[in-house]
Amino acid sequence: MHDLFSSSTVSGGVWIAAAAGVALLALAGFVLAVLRSERTRDGTAAQIGRLAEIAESLSRGQAELAGRLQQSQAGLDHRLDSLSHRLGEGLIEHGERTSETLRALHERLALIDAAQKSITALSSEVAGLQDILANKQARGAFGEVQLEALVASMLPADAFRLQATLTNRCRADCLLTLPDPPGPIVIDSKFPLESYRLLCAARDEVERSRAARAFAQDVLRHVRDIEAKYIVPGETADSAMMFLPSEAVYAELHAHFRNVVEDSFRRKVWIVSPSTLWATLNTVRAVLRDVRLKRQATVIQAELRAIVEDVARIDQRAANLQRHFDQATDDLRQIRVSTDKLAMRASRLDLVAIGDGDEDGNSERNSAALTSGPETSTASG
């Protein structure tokens, strides 16, 4: 771009120089014409002088014009350099911004690609879930898996049994082993999905009314089956639970089929969803904790009674030992009295004097002292 502007400037200077040359040629022609003219022969010298002045003036103007052209060329070069510099910086900055934009666009495309893969995987999973829900056996297994996961996450392993067989040979999906009362409670995980799907797919009031009747009949039939199979007097509690793994089905029942819910209440078949079963299992866990605490309290009370008996036994033995110590102390005291008497009697023996002259008198006194000493000692002992 700088070369283009430079070539344009040079071309302008060439055209100006060419115009000046043409003017000089015209002036020379004019001079020749004047010289040829006879009528102006006398003023030729003056005109030549003026023409020389004009030519000199034109030369000076041409030189000034060349200087100005050179200055203009230098100014244009400087402006072109500055413009090229700014343009280069702008292009570099624009290139960097473009690179950043492309990088961000690439990252977003990568995220979109990952989201597309996730959506594809989710679509396949939804399709698989639809296949599961379309098959009764697979749907039952799906409900059992969801029920098992929920119960296992809330209760200890010894508080429930899966696929438990009752005495009437009916197999329960889950049996909560609660203490009496209320006793073991059965949870059934099957649910009438086909009639609910027909209810949701109804296109007018007639189809909806027909599908609603069919749905209510299917649910009531299932409630009666649960009552007949899983409420066994003397073995289970007087109630059971029907687990609906779909909150939508549970909400539909309580919103538009109150008669079905009330009939299940009368038959003591409690309809639960994942959220309500979670709350129920929380209550069951609290009950089991209380039962364990009561059992532990019974054990603690028995241990405390045993400790009290041990303390009483130790107290009796300590009393016996105290009596033995008291008897030993009394025996020691009596032994001490006897030893004191023996020491006193021994000291009296030292008072007995054996002399030659007063033998008879001393003998009588010593005999009296010895005789009185033992009698006194015997009386005091």
Residue 119 lies in a domain: no
d(CA 294, CA 288): 10
Maximum separation of any 2 CA atoms in the chain, in Å: 226
Contacts of 239 (CB under 8 A, 6+ apart): 182, 185, 231, 268, 269, 270
Residue 273 lies in a domain: yes
Q: Are residues 311 and 288 in the same domain?
A: no
Contacts of 237 (CB under 8 A, 6+ apart): 178, 181, 182, 183, 184, 185, 231
Q: Are residues 171 and 319 in the same domain?
A: no
Nearest one of 107, 76, 99 to 2, comparing CA atoms: 76
CA separation, residue 211 to residues 63, 135, 197, 290 (Å): 107, 20, 9, 46
Domain end: 272, 293, 314, which one? 293
Nearest one of 318, 340, 8, 280 to 147, comparing CA atoms: 280
Residue 6's domain spans which residues? Answer: 2-110
pLDDT in tens, the chain (381 residues): 445 444 554 455 556 656 666 666 666 666 666 556 555 555 666 777 777 777 777 777 777 877 788 888 788 888 888 888 888 888 888 888 888 888 888 888 888 888 888 787 776 555 444 544 455 555 556 678 888 888 898 888 888 898 888 888 888 889 998 888 788 999 998 877 788 888 888 888 888 888 889 989 999 999 999 999 998 888 888 899 999 888 888 888 888 889 999 999 999 999 999 999 898 888 888 888 887 777 777 777 787 888 888 888 888 888 888 888 888 888 888 888 888 888 888 887 766 644 444 445 555 555 555 455 444 444 444
Q: Are residues 255 and 176 in the same domain?
A: yes
Residue pair 188/173 in contact (Cβ under 8 Å)? The answer is yes
The total number of residues shown for the chain amounts to 381
Long-range pairs for 67-72 at CB < 8 Å and ≥24 separation? Answer: 69/12, 69/13, 69/16, 72/9
Residue 149 lies in a domain: yes
Q: Are residues 143 and 212 in the same domain?
A: yes
d(CA 349, CA 347): 5
Residue 13 lies in a domain: yes
Contacts of 198 (CB under 8 A, 6+ apart): 211, 214, 215
Residue 117 lies in a domain: no
Q: Are residues 139 and 258 in the same domain?
A: yes
Residue pair 375/342 in contact (Cβ under 8 Å)? The answer is no
Q: Are residues 248 and 202 in the same domain?
A: yes
d(CA 373, CA 375): 5
Our count of domains for the chain comes to 3
Q: Are residues 260 and 144 in the same domain?
A: yes
Nearest one of 287, 68, 41, 53 to 156, comparing CA atoms: 287
d(CA 157, CA 281): 13
Q: Do the bridges between strand 160-165 and strand 269-272 make them parallel or antiparallel, or are there none, so unpaired?
A: unpaired
Q: Are residues 152 and 287 in the same domain?
A: yes
Report the pLDDT value the prediction gives residue 9, as an integer from 0 to 100: 47
Nearest one of 287, 189, 294, 311 to 241, comparing CA atoms: 189
Give the three-class secondary structure for 282: helix
Domain end: 253, 272, 293, which one? 293
Residue 126 lies in a domain: no
Q: Are residues 104 and 245 in the same domain?
A: no
Number of CB atoms found within 10 A of residue 166's CB = 16
Residue 164 lies in a domain: yes
Q: Are residues 204 and 310 in the same domain?
A: no
Q: Are residues 204 and 314 in the same domain?
A: no
Contacts of 354 (CB under 8 A, 6+ apart): 362
> Which amino acid is located at 123 in the chain?
S
Give the CATH number for residue 250.
3.40.1350
Q: Is 22 left (phi over 0), alpha (psi -120 to 50) or beta?
A: alpha
DSSP one-letter string for 10-31: HHHHHHHHHHHHHHHHHHHHHH
Q: Are residues 163 and 230 in the same domain?
A: yes
Residue 123 lies in a domain: no
Task: State if pTM tops 0.75.
Answer: no
